[in-house]
Amino acid sequence: MSAYPATQEVTLTVPYGIEISNHSDSHLICRPSRWTDIAAFYLGNYVAHIATVRSTPGEILPSLTWTLLCVLIAPAAGVHRGMEAIRSFTVYHVIKGKHLRAAARAGALCMVVRDFDWKPASGCRHELSHAMMSPEDLHQHINKFILLAEEQGLPDNGDLEMQPGQPENQHDRALKATIYCPSWAATARATFLELTRNIHGSYRLPAGYTFARVPPDAEVDFFELPAPESATTESHIPATQDIVYSWSFAKALVSLLQLLYAISSLYRTRGNQIEIYGYAAFGLTVAPYAVMSFVNLLGNMLSVEFNKIYMVKSLIMQEALQRGGSFAGVIGDLVSEDTPDYPFFVKGDLQTDHDEAVAFVLDPEVVNRARESLAMTVGGRPQNVLQPRPGVVAVPSCLPFKRTNKSAEKAPWFLQQDWLLQIANPGDWRWMPEGTHMDTRSRQHLLRLETVIPSMRSRAEQLALLAMFLPAAASLAIVGCLSRWRTGSSTRAQRVWTMMWLVIGFCGNIGWMREPSTHNKPFLPISSMNTESHWMGRIVRYVSRKILKSSPGMEGKLDRMGISNLLGEAYVILLYSPPAIGGLVVVGKMLNEYGACFRVF
């Protein structure tokens, strides 16, 4: 027996000219939509969801604002941050009192690395660098600089005695210099952190160095730290500094409320709205934002947030200290990996021509072939015909450090690929995948070097990339289950725009979620890093100076940021925003047609 009467008639008095309908659903009462109804739908079902998005460690306000705009257009940007928080699971380490491990897992630690404009310094040893020598030796792929000083001992002045029988005058061999990102630093992203993030403590970076995030599985010693006054001191004290973090219950609560509101919007979509519009129904466009709120709810519950990035000591930081750098507020020591010693030693002052690096000289005694004297050039100038063909010296951006997860250093087997470096002329080289078809002459000028390339990420990053498709699948599943993929009376334009918004909103986000930078590239010719003179670049750099952190020494680094670095996300927004804008317009039209409805019972 029903708890309610079968039907009953009621009388409503409405203003003249207002049409009331129920879309053939006796449970609904609908009136014409006002602009406030459409705005309320936008605010409640799209805009409000961005309040659940997490900030990255040390993120400054302009960066967060830009991210929220990206999330509004494509919710996958917020989903990615939530999934990163779930993967880090920093709450577990915080509860156990391992705050440094929690910071590392969250990406809140940074280390000093060599920048793309780094140059060798006279009298300094440079470890683990590789060089390709003459064409006769190219088949060996890699020749490593080895100090003969290991046998002789290196005098204080850096000079080595000539060996009997060695010719003193030989033609110089030109070598082009490039910085590369080694495979052990696959997740050590360098995105000008000193410009775009708040870094704990104070520092002065010498020319040729920048900060990069420490991989989450790197081993960091928290127990012996430099004295807090300066990292240059030799004294050490027990670590007493607490890493500041926040566990945002408020953001988790907002995520829960937004999730419940999105579920209610999806629930109200059932019935006549789907019969009219099918899977293009405006209520179903909330599905991606509901998925984002759910992921961010889990992320806010399982992870803490850090409002600053913390410096850790490394071998490259020590190298930067020798060049006039200073670092105060270092909270840990990156544990170095024991590796064979393959250094090269630069003797003599750096020669310059119009403020551009030209050459530095390596004495014959300090290279692995004692009969040759090497001149390293970076200007791409034509060489004397009496000199051998130029080669390349590849210097790693950082030195090896211990990692707790060895499998994270390489991509899954089905995504691994060997890459080669091809030398075409003194001013040009490029990388290409192993197996690329080329003529015999071209193949003679190849150097194989294990490096990080755009398609070779760490295992954790590859899994995160694959997991990005799960929210898209969940959104499609919600839409499909509620609508059974019926078209209803919807137009082709309505179906195309809403589905483009849903699908491209997830898949299109893959491009910018990886934080591309110069240190994600395998080889980077220094000569290609000249300041952009394009008018667009000048405008972007002017705006960047106004919104990014400004401190002494940062102007030159900002000037060297290429247009591709500064406009990368803007390009993605311009490319993928049309589906979102078109979807919002179509939703507004459907709301205006359907009216503002409420359920009577």
Which DSSP category does 203 fall into? Answer: E
pLDDT the model gives residue 246: 78
Per the prediction, the chain carries an average pLDDT of 64
pLDDT given at position 119: 72
What's the pLDDT score for residue 271? Answer: 60
* Rounded-to-integer distance, Cα 80 and Cα 434, Å: 32
Mean pLDDT of 193-205: 81
Q: Could you tell me what percent of the chain has a pLDDT over 70?
A: 46
- Give the residue with greater pLDDT, 585 vs 21: 585
User: Does residue 337 carry a pLDDT above 70?
Assistant: yes
Mean local confidence (pLDDT), 229-251: 58
**Residue 331 pLDDT greater than 50, yes or no:** yes
CB 181, CB 522: distance < 8 Å = yes
The answer to pTM > 0.75 is no
Higher-pLDDT residue of 436, 402: 402
Q: Range with the lowest mean pLDDT among 75-79, 174-178, 572-576?
A: 174-178
> 399 or 27: whose pLDDT is higher?
399
Give the pLDDT band of residue 133 (cuts 50, 70, 90). very low
- How many CB atoms lie under 10 A from the CB of residue 234? 6
pLDDT at 320 over 60: yes
The pLDDT value recorded for residue 473 is 84
What are 412-444's pLDDT values in tens digits? Answer: 444 444 444 444 433 344 444 444 454 444 444
Helix, strand, or coil here: 271?
coil
Angle, in degrees to the nearest 10, between helices 35-45 and 563-594: 130
505 and 580 Cβ atoms separated by less than 8 Å? yes
Residues of the chain above pLDDT 90, percent: 2
* 273 confidence band (pLDDT: 50, 70, 90): confident
Tokens of 375: 């001149």
Of 317-326, 495-504, 546-555, which range is least confident?
Answer: 546-555
Which segments of 287-416 are extended strands (E)?
310-311, 326-328, 333-334, 344-345, 347-353, 356-362, 373-377, 391-396
Can you give the pLDDT at residue 470? Answer: 76
- Rg, Å, the chain Cα set: 30
pLDDT category at 12 given cuts 50, 70, 90 is: low
Q: Residue 113: its pLDDT value, please?
A: 86
Helical residues (DSSP H) of 484-547, grouped into ranges = 492-507, 535-547
Cβ neighbours for 456, distance < 8 A, ≥ 6 positions apart = 183, 186, 410, 411, 415, 416, 417, 419
CA-closest candidate to residue 178, choices 449, 432, 502? 449
pLDDT tier at 317 (50, 70, 90 boundaries)? very high
DSSP for 19-57, written as a single string: --B-TT-TTEEEEPPPHHHHHHHHHHHTGGGGGGPPPPT
Overall average pLDDT of the 7-28 stretch: 65
CA atoms within 13 A on the CB side of 180: 29
Max avg pLDDT among 205-219, 408-422, 464-478: 205-219
> Quick one: tokens of 568?
């990368």
State both tokens at 564: 């591709």
- Which residues touch 157 (CB under 8 Å, ≥6 apart)? none
d(CA 593, CA 579): 21
User: Does 124 score more than 70 pLDDT?
Assistant: no
The neighbour count for residue 183, using CB atoms within 10 Å, is 19
- The larger pLDDT score, comparing residue 329 to residue 561, is at 329
**Model pLDDT, residue 123:** 53
Would you kindly state where each structural domain of the chain is located, as residue ranges?
Answer: 28-88+249-302+469-512+562-599, 111-159+170-241+309-409
Which range is most confident: 457-466, 471-480, 491-500?
Answer: 491-500
Higher-confidence residue of 184 and 68: namely 68
Do residues 107 and 87 make contact, with C-beta atoms less than 8 angstroms apart?
Answer: no
Give the alpha-carbon dihedral of 34, 39, 45, 50, to 10 degrees.
180
What number is the average pLDDT over the span 272-292?
86
Amino acid at 592: N
Mean pLDDT of 20-44: 78
Q: Is pLDDT above 90 for 586? A: yes
Question: In the block, which residue shows the tokens 């053939």?
Answer: 24
User: Quick check: 540 pLDDT over 60?
Assistant: no
Q: Which of 125, 108, 119 is nearest to 209 (CA)?
A: 119
pLDDT at 8 over 70: no
Higher pLDDT, 298 or 569: 298
Distance CA 393, CA 447 (A): 11
Identify the residue with better confidence: 183 or 327.
327
pLDDT at position 202 over 90: no
Query: From start to end of 218-368, where are the E strands?
Result: 220-221, 224-226, 236-238, 310-311, 326-328, 333-334, 344-345, 347-353, 356-362
Cα–Cα distance measured from residue 541 to residue 539, given in angstroms and rounded to the nearest whole number: 6
Is 147 or 328 the better-scoring residue by pLDDT? 328
**Structural contact between residues 193 and 210, judged by C-beta atoms closer than 8 angstroms:** yes
Give the residue, 449 or 306, on which the prediction is more confident. Answer: 306
Give the whole-angstrom CA distance, residue 137 versus residue 520.
29
- Whether 578 shows a pLDDT value over 80: the answer reads yes
pLDDT higher than 70, residue 565 = no
How much is the pLDDT for 127? 60
The model's pLDDT over 495-523, given as tens digits with 9 standing for 90+, comes to 999 988 888 766 655 444 444 333 333 33
Q: Is 434 helix (H, G, I), strand (E, B) or coil?
A: coil
pLDDT digits (tens, 9 = 90+) for 75-103: 877 887 888 888 888 888 888 888 888 88
pLDDT band, very low/low/confident/very high, at 585 (cuts 50, 70, 90): very high
Question: What span, in angstroms and rounded, lies between the C-alpha atoms of 505 and 79?
Answer: 11
What CA–CA distance (Å, rounded) separates 518 from 33? Answer: 51
Asked if pLDDT for residue 452 goes beyond 70, the answer is: no
Q: Is the pLDDT of residue 277 over 80?
A: yes
CB neighbours of 415 closer than 8 A, spacing ≥ 6? 455, 456, 457, 462
